[in-house]
Structure 1
Amino acid sequence: MTLPPYYQRLIERYPQVSLEEWQLLDQLATVRYIRKGEHFLRVGTVARNAAFVLSGQFKYSFHAEDGAEKIMKFSFADDFLTNCVSFNNNKPSYQNITALEDSVILRFNIKKLQPLYDLHLSILHVNIQLYQDIMQQQAEHQYILSLKSPLERYKFLLKHRPMLIQKISLTNISRYLFTSREALSRARLLVAEDLDNQNAWGCP
């Protein structure tokens, strides 16, 4: 059985999984096309699926009491989409997972995957690694939000997550940093002015 070419990316990312195991997983997977603005998971529904992002961008978000959207996380090509808390507790999700652009995913039903964990330790290890990645991402976001000003938060992204600055709109970055678009625009201007001043002092 020949695997579709996109599995090469998964094989490189998770080399502990054998070719035969990927072939087994492929029998449980389906390719899905998701349009911009469409939900992979909607608030109030219980998570039943996980997915590998073949192409596109997604956001994990919720709406605060004042109606403002807050973004907790972004996912890009080669990331996984999942809501472990919702699935494990069999409770409705408090977050939407929404496509930021037309996207393609490889979707897995989590319940069908679970029996494989006892039979294939390498697949279980991938699941554990996903949990660890999620926890690290949540911890980093909490740290970012602990920074006192939009300027500090924006500088952290510039230094540690420049890809977000390059790929995500200013509006969505402001929602991720839990600040206003105007405050983020001022922070970005201050950073640009600081760079200009540094360049000016560096001229001969």
Structure 2
Amino acid sequence: MKKTTLTFEASVLQNAQLDSISKEMLFNAAQTQVVKQGDYLLTEGQICQHIWLVEKGACRAFYDNNHKEINTAFFFEQAFITNMKSLRNNEPSLYHLQAIEATTLLRWRKEELTALYQQSSAIAAYGTAQLEQLAITSEAHADWLKVLNPEERYEYILQHQPQLVQRVSITQLSSYIGISRETLSRIRRRVL
């Protein structure tokens, strides 16, 4: 097996119940992609053709609502990224995926993953589990936006996703929480 990256070792090799051949097949199918802060992995209207794993750096998912960016997800080291609906249904993306830091990723093309899924049921099961985790994370965000008040949302972030406070701009964080930048500033002063 080739020398692996730390993220691949930590997120795939350690956590996946894959035999050594399946692990090697999955790793060999990956390409390294390096992007600068502000570069797009996917833009609205494009059809998603990849699944990415963040090796180093950070990315976000967002859409434009009347010239206002609404952030819906953030991805850090060891996180998988894709637009599942676009990837699966071969339809245009409704949102953007963008690097918010200089980022190194591992990238798998849809066709290569499909072939791997056919060759290894263990890889197919692992891929399904990762996509389910993306869906669960997205659903959890939608749920707490509905049931928590703004201060409770910020406290949730502090407890469960502190890297957001450390690595995401206050403007991006406020849209993710579903409040104005000014409201978030007031909440931060009260909470701290």
* CA positional deviation for 1:4: 2.6
In the alignment, structure 1 segments of 5+ residues that lack a partner are: 193-204
**d(CA) in 1 for partners of 2:27, 2:188:** 44
Q: How does 1:146-185 map to 2 (within 5 A)?
A: 146-147=146-147, 149-185=149-185
Identity of aligned residues (%): 27
Aligned-partner Cα distance in 2 for 1:76–1:35: 15
- Normalised to the residue count of structure 2, the TM-score between the two structures is 0.92
Aligned to 1:34: 35
Shift of 1:148: 5.5
Counterpart amino acid of residue 89 in structure 1: N
CA distance in 2, matches of 1:24, 1:156: 38
Which structure 1 residue ranges, 4+ long, deviate > 4 Å from structure 2?
none
Code of the residue aligned with 1:58 in structure 2: it is C
CA distance in 2, matches of 1:21, 1:82: 21
Give the SS at the match of 1:27: helix
State the Cα distance separating 1:54 from its structure 2 match: 0.6
Structure 2 counterpart of 1:73, one-letter code: A
SS at match of 2:14: helix
Q: How many Å apart are 1:87 and its aligned residue?
A: 1.2
* Contact persistence 1:174–1:181 (CA under 8 A): yes
27-36 vs 159-168, which moves further = 159-168
CA distance in 2, matches of 1:35, 1:17: 32
Structure-1-length-normalised TM-score: 0.87
Q: CA deviation at 1:21?
A: 1.6
Unaligned 5+ runs, structure 2: none
**Equivalences for 1:112-151 in 2 at 5 Å?**
112-147=112-147, 149-151=149-151
Structure 1 segment 1-80 matched on structure 2, within 5 A? 1-6=1-6, 7-9=8-10, 10-14=12-16, 16-64=17-65, 66-80=66-80
Q: Supply the distance in 2 between the matched residues of 1:94 and 1:40 (Cα, whole angstroms).
A: 13
Q: Quote how far apart the aligned CAs of 1:167 are.
A: 2.4
Letter in 1 for 2:60: K
RMSD: 1.5
SS at match of 1:13: coil
CA 1:71–1:2: 2 relative to 1, 3 Å: same
Q: Residues 115-140 of structure 1: CA distance to partner in whole angstroms, max 9, x if unpaired?
A: 22133111011111112211211121
Give the count of matched residue pairs: 190
For residue 104 of structure 1, what is the amino acid of its counterpart?
T
Q: Which amino acid is the alignment partner of residue 58 of structure 2? A: Q
Give per-residue Cα distances to partners, 1:55-110, cap 9 Å, x unaligned.
Answer: 0000000011x221111110001111111100111100011110001010111101
Inter-partner Cα distance in structure 1 for 2:26 and 2:162: 33
Could you say what secondary structure the match of 2:178 adopts? coil
Distance in 2 separating the partners of 1:20 and 1:167? 36
**Residue 2 and residue 28 in structure 1: after superposition, are their counterparts in 2 closer, same or farther (change >3 A)?**
closer
Quote the residue 1:101 is aligned against.
101
